[in-house]
Amino acid sequence: MFLLQSYGVGPWANKTAMQIDFDIVKFDVNSQSRHLTTHTSHQSISFYRAYVKRAVDFVLILVGLPIILPLMILSALLVARDGYNPIYTQWRVGKNGKRFRFYKFRTMVPNADAVLESYLATNPSARAEWDRDQKLKNDPRIIPMGHFMRKTSLDELPQLLNVLLGDMALVGPRPMMVEQQIMYEGDAYYELRPGLTGLWQISDRNDCGFRDRVKYDDVYNDIASFPIDMAVIIRTFRVVVRGTGY
């Protein structure tokens, strides 16, 4: 069995290794070098990304519709019960830097930007957390059902429409906000369609700073393949059950 070993990434920077029991890939990542060993050639990776990956996304969404649709209806009703428009849209950055309209179930108050700035202006520790991670553990913008939606990742389901439209993929980098581009020190993100899930999303991401995402994106850009995507999707269900998101 091969192990996914990531050195010097986020909270594991001072540990020997972060190990994930993928059966199909082994790689080491640090600030100096990367060694990659896979069962897939670069040619097969390119073929998969060019011709197969999007078709697989369509098939998986169609197969999952009997489960997905009831969950989406339930999620919309839960948000609407709190008196809010269930659907939230925002501009995000996609492949080749193209911007697209990103869909989520609402988990924050409508005036979230103003609430955030007011909160950060009076809370230096929260400002430092936001500047480092681009998220807050105790976020004042979250609506009553928002914490549940985020823990269960139900708020992400509308992004399936983005996948069908071709703006996103089921597996890829975490969709980046426009204002976050200045913080992103890498190129791999712009070579991929953002993903509903991905290597960073299935990591212990709550302990990982925003800039560490670059390493996950670089690695996925090198190893994207059908087996890897299936392994990530399967692992995503475990993350959802554990409820590690916020």
If DSSP codes are grouped into helix, strand and coil, which group holds residue 203? coil
Question: Cβ contacts of residue 19 below 8 Å, gap of 6+?
Answer: 3, 4, 5
- What is the mean pLDDT, run by run of 10 residues, along the chain of 246 residues? 40 36 41 41 78 96 96 94 90 96 94 91 91 86 89 93 97 94 91 94 70 87 93 90 65
Query: What pLDDT is attached to residue 203?
Result: 79
Distance CA 223, CA 197 (A): 15
Burial class (CB in 10 A: 0-12, 13-18, 19+), 11: middle
Distance CA 154, CA 11 (A): 26
Beta bridge mates, 177: 92
Query: What pLDDT is attached to residue 41?
Result: 59
Phi/psi of residue 14, nearest 5 degrees: -105, 10
Strand duo 169-171 + 195-197: pairing: parallel
Query: What pLDDT is attached to residue 44?
Result: 72
| Residue 91 C-beta-side C-alpha neighbours within 13 Å | 7
The model's pLDDT over 235-244, given as tens digits with 9 standing for 90+, comes to 998 888 876 6
Query: What pLDDT is attached to residue 172?
Result: 97
pTM for the structure as a whole: 0.79
